[in-house]
Structure 1
Amino acid sequence: MITIKLLSECPLSDAVSAWNKGFEDYFSSSQMTVDQFTHRLGKEDLSPSYSFVAYCEEEPVGLILNGIKTMNGKKWAWNGGTSVAPSHRKSGVASKLMKESMDVYEREGVEIASLEAFSVNEKAIRLYEKYGYKIIDHLLFLELKGRRKEDLFQDANKNAYSIEYGLPKDIGKLVLYNDSIPWQTQWQHIRDGESLVVKDSSENVLGYALYRRVFNGEGNLQSIILYQCECDRHIHNKEEVLKYMINYVFQANESIHRMTYNLPESNHSLVDILQEAGFKKVYTPNGTLLEQVFMTSKK
């Protein structure tokens, strides 16, 4: 018999066990220790009070992680992972976990529910569609290892623009901030991140970027991760401004790892610019394309 319990009422070790069982045959390595699991809950604002563990008798066999918070004036919910042990798949465990989550979303007055799933995980996508989710975009992971190409902006008038560097919270105040993006790339979740805002000579905001630089133990730059890069859609020089921002985000010319995280495929101009600069799609060690679907359900 399957019973569903709030994660807040369960031992953390049970939740981690359920997670690791459910992802032991996943497309990419997702195994976690209790410490790593706890860190992820805090980092991504996932709440034990909104998450559930599925038990078969006393054995943890399934888990769903949820976060609920108000972002940019809207109450969002995020499914941060649904896992079911291989031995208990096709027995309704995932549906029970989803139903409990949907009930919580309704009680909490959630306006938008979102999640991501690997594009190749068709079974999971069908399950989410059954509960009202729809695919609204595809999310790309692009990378460039080593030295980048020369200045992408060399033919433009750099004096026409200025840049203001800041913190992630600074872009959340912008009128053109795009809040219709995945939970993990919203500014509230980019710890140790940085932002830049591009303005024209009249101080009009033309675009912004959100990114994070990663340093090794010796303090040397190791990688740069781009989470957002958006332009005012009404300007005529959108591509030029995007190139300008990309140059400053990835300005280091040394041999480092540059990557995007959950980059919306619908941002066609940016995708084209990055691929022109030599960025390639990322594959898992077993050859699976690392690409997700972004799904939402509006209540």
Structure 2
Amino acid sequence: MITYKVLSEFPIKDVSELWNKAFEGYIVNASMPLDRFITRVASEGLSLEHSFACYVNGEQAGIVMGGFREVSGKKVAWNGGTAVVPAFRGKGIGKAMIARNLELYAELVVDVAYLEAISTNESAIRLYETMNYELVDRLILLSNEHKLDMTDWSSHSYTVTRGLAIEVGTLLFYTPGEVWQSQLPSLKDGESVTVYDGDEAVGYGLFRRTFDSYGNLAGITLLRCESAPNRLDRESIVKAALREIWQPTRNCKRTVHNIRASNRTLIELLDQLGFNVFMEQVLMVQHLNK
């Protein structure tokens, strides 16, 4: 018999242990220590009250975690992690959990549901498709640990300013987008650059920086970089933003997380700079409450 229990009824340590147990042997190592797990729950807005553990005849068999936001007047849900304990894989537990999760979305009157899946995890993608999720784009993750040669990118007529991530929400052409972890509520520790052509804002970038215990720059992670629509100088705008974000004279690790493959201008510029793809995901959506 399959039963479910909401995660808010567990001590957080037990939730973390179930997460690690369910993701054991997964394509990508998603296990994490307790402190990092707590940070992820908070930073990604995951709801323990609306996430659950799955039991089969009284034994823990899986976990589903989800987050919920109001975006542009619609209630949006994100599947922040679904995994089956190894001993129960291949027995239809994943499908049962997704079905229960969709029932939960209906109870909460969710309008749109998103999730990501590793692009090589074909069985999971097929499962989500049978549950009426549609694949809408690929998400690219890249890295570069070398110094960047951006000398030719320094000559432009734009003004570039730095600020907090939340500040780009005031730009007329900013949209929240469909990638949960790149939306402003997930970037409380994020930074931004805004590109101006005269007094007009024409582009922006969102990123995070990390530092070592001595205050030295350790890494920069790019999350979004876009120009205003219908700009003929789109490539030049993105170049100006990237040069400010990447701080090319600094020695640090540079990564790019979940950039949409449809953003060809950005992908091509990153390729020119020597960034290499280390993982791809698929972005999937289901429109509910129609």
CA distance 1:199–1:294, change in 2 (3 Å): same
1:93 and 1:214 map into 2 onto residues whose CA distance is 38
SS at match of 1:261: strand
1:44 and 1:276 map into 2 onto residues whose CA distance is 32
1:260 and 1:246 map into 2 onto residues whose CA distance is 11
What stretches of structure 1 of length at least 5 have no aligned partner?
A: 283-289
> Contact between 2:23 and 2:31, CA under 8 Å: does it hold in 1?
yes
Q: Which residue of 2 aligns with 1:285?
A: none
> Contact between 1:54 and 1:60, CA under 8 Å: does it hold in 2?
yes
Deviation, 1:54, is 0.6
- What is the letter of the counterpart of residue 43 of structure 1? S
- What is the letter of the counterpart of residue 133 of structure 2? Y
1:107 and 1:48 map into 2 onto residues whose CA distance is 16
Q: Which residue of 1 aligns with 2:269?
A: 273
- What is the letter of the counterpart of residue 239 of structure 1? E
Deviation, 1:164, is 2.6
Deviation, 1:60, is 1.5
Deviation, 1:143, is 1.1
2:284 aligned to 278, 291, 295, which one? 295
What stretches of structure 2 of length at least 5 have no aligned partner?
A: none
SS at match of 2:286: strand
Q: Report how many aligned residue pairs link the two structures.
A: 288
- What is the letter of the counterpart of residue 98 of structure 1? I
SS at match of 1:35: helix
Deviation, 1:239, is 0.5
Deviations 1:215-265 (A, max 9, x none): 000000011000010111201110011111110100241221111010111
Superposed CA RMSD: 1.6
1:183 aligned to 176, 180, 183, which one? 180
Q: Which residue of 1 aligns with 2:210?
A: 214
> Contact between 1:224 and 1:259, CA under 8 Å: does it hold in 2?
yes
Instruction: State, as a whole percentage, how many aligned pairs show the same letter.
Output: 36
1:268 and 1:29 map into 2 onto residues whose CA distance is 29
- What is the letter of the counterpart of residue 141 of structure 1? L
2:191 and 2:274 map into 1 onto residues whose CA distance is 23
Deviations 1:80-101 (A, max 9, x none): 0101012112222212221221
2:34 and 2:247 map into 1 onto residues whose CA distance is 37
> Contact between 1:18 and 1:83, CA under 8 Å: does it hold in 2?
no
Deviation, 1:12, is 3.4
1:135-154 alignment to 2 at 5 Å? 135-154=135-154
Deviations 1:184-239 (A, max 9, x none): 111110132111111111x1221110011110000000110000101112011100
CA distance 1:21–1:126, change in 2 (3 Å): same
1:100 and 1:112 map into 2 onto residues whose CA distance is 16
Deviation, 1:10, is 3.1
> Contact between 2:144 and 2:254, CA under 8 Å: does it hold in 1?
yes
1:15-164 alignment to 2 at 5 Å? 15-154=15-154, 156=155, 158=156, 160-164=157-161
Deviation, 1:27, is 1.9
SS at match of 1:205: strand
TM-score, normalization by structure 1: 0.91
SS at match of 1:77: strand
> Contact between 1:14 and 1:60, CA under 8 Å: does it hold in 2?
no
2:223 and 2:46 map into 1 onto residues whose CA distance is 19
SS at match of 1:295: strand
Q: Which residue of 1 aligns with 2:200?
A: 204
> Contact between 1:168 and 1:190, CA under 8 Å: does it hold in 2?
yes
- What is the letter of the counterpart of residue 181 of structure 1? E
Deviation, 1:170, is 1.1
Task: Return structure 1 stretches of 4+ with deviation > 4 angstroms.
Answer: none
Deviation, 1:152, is 4.0
- What is the letter of the counterpart of residue 225 of structure 1? T
> Contact between 1:206 and 1:232, CA under 8 Å: does it hold in 2?
yes
> Contact between 1:54 and 1:63, CA under 8 Å: does it hold in 2?
yes
TM-score, normalization by structure 2: 0.94
SS at match of 2:151: coil
